[in-house]
Structure formats: structure tokens, C-alpha cells
Amino acid sequence: MKVNIHFSNLHFDELYFSGKTTVVIDVLRASTVIVTALKNGAREIIPVITIDFAIKVSGNAFGGQTLLGGERNTKMVEGFNLGNSPAEYKPEVVSGKSIILYTTNGSKSIVKAKFSEKLFICCFNNLHSVANHLLALKKDVEIVCAGTSGNFNLEDAVCAGKLLSEMQKIDDTLEFNDSGRASLNLNKSFGRNLTKMLKETDHGKLLIQNGFSTDLKMCAQLGTTDLIPYFASGAIKKLEIDSAHSNKENEPKVS
């Protein structure tokens, strides 16, 4: 089983992902928002690549059960219901709702990988369950770090390295590309104190400057949920794993 890490999605054509098993990571903050929203009862998250499209979709669909969420330059977009702080996605706000999500890097990376055969979302909060699920699938994996505007960022690379390290603990025959090996070392150097690491990243500093320092604590929580977000037919839903088949190559069910 080979695991390829990519520190940016910039160089990819959408078709690269056809038939692949892919994981998208955007620790600060899109992946963490998606995991939190689904954990708190959101029906689905619809990732979009433009604000105009987000507004258009929300106007036409789902009988008033939609919320517009996300950010531009870290802040809530004018006219949206929610920003991109995980703490905003509380049960009383998101339960039963379809959330249309626009973010600078995360939602775009997910949409770019939409042709994947299986597409999952990972952050520190659900890292262990994603690691276990990927091993159970026994398929080569592409791990895409959303990065920042096409560039490398440390938080996504450390999360990818930690994901590989968890998988390696269970299967020491895994093969990695060069970025995979680099991410394992980045996790060793920076992955011990996740809150500290996030505070010292470029995007972490910007979030603190813009008043979102409490988000970093939520984004740094490791292994707090088993929930795995799964993208299919344009929407991200909670993956329901059939435990009877979890070691087989079953088609995941979404709820």
C-alpha cells in the first residue's frame, strides 16, 4: 500500500484523482469545521469554489434548511450565516441543516478532488479514525494538504505526517513518497505540542491577529471523534462504516 502526500493542490488537474482514494486536510480551519458541523448534527456540507455560487445554491435549494458558512481573509463573508470558526457550528445552529461552505483553500481543495473514488476529510480531531479506515480499505492513498494559496503550510503537513505515523504504527510495510517521508519528520519536530505549533504558523498568527485564537485550541485537539466526513455526489456526509465489513473493501454508506 502506497501513501502519497501532496503539500499543495496547485499542480493537479481534477482528473488526476479519478478512481483514487483521497484525503483532504485543512487543519486551520475548513477540515475542523466540517468535522465539527457533522458531529453536531449537520445533514451535509456542500463545498463550493466561489462566493457567487454559494449564494446561488443557497437561494434555490433545500427548502430553507441551508446555512451559508465560511470565510474570506479569515472573516465571515458578508451575507453569510456563519464564519469559519468551529465553535460557531453548535448543535442548536447546525442540526439538520445543509451547510454551503466557501473557504479560501479547504473547500476548493475538496472540489478539486471530487472525481476521487473515495474522498475523506481529515483534521487532528478525527485523525485516528481516518488512519484506521484507510488501512482497512487497503488501497493506495493520495493525501492532499490544502496549504495556503497553493503554497506549503506547516499545520497541514504536520497533520499529514501524524496520520502517516499512526498508520505506520499498525502497518510498517507502508510505502511513502518523498513528501510523505518529509511529513513524518515534520511531525516528529513539531507534532508534540499541537496548540504551540498552530500558534507559531503563519496562518495561526493571522487568525490570532484577527481575534480567532480560541479556534486554534479546537483545531489542535487530537483524536476527539471517530467521525469521518465522506464526499459523494457534491456533498460531504458522515461516513457510516458497516462494522461487519470494515476490514473488507466495502462501499462506504453515508447518512
Note the residues at the interface with ligand MLT (CB under 6 A).
26, 28-30, 71, 74, 84, 103-106
Comparing CA positions, the residue from 195, 202, 199, 206 lying closest to residue 71 is: 206
Which H or E run contains 21?
A: strand 21-25
Shortest reach from residue 145's CB to ligand MLT, in Å:
11
CB neighbours of residue 64 within 10 Å = 7
Q: Closer to ligand MLT at the Cβ: 137 or 148?
A: 148
Task: Tell me the C-alpha distance between 174 and 47, whole Å.
Answer: 31
Closest residue to ligand MLT: CB criterion: 103
The two most distant CA atoms of the chain are separated, in Å, by 50
Task: Tell me the C-alpha distance between 171 and 43, whole Å.
Answer: 34
Shortest reach from residue 31's CB to ligand MLT, in Å:
8
Q: Closer to ligand MLT at the Cβ: 104 or 187?
A: 104
Q: Closer to ligand MLT at the Cβ: 22 or 103?
A: 103
Q: Closer to ligand MLT at the Cβ: 188 or 205?
A: 205
Shortest reach from residue 214's CB to ligand MLT, in Å:
13
Shortest reach from residue 136's CB to ligand MLT, in Å:
28
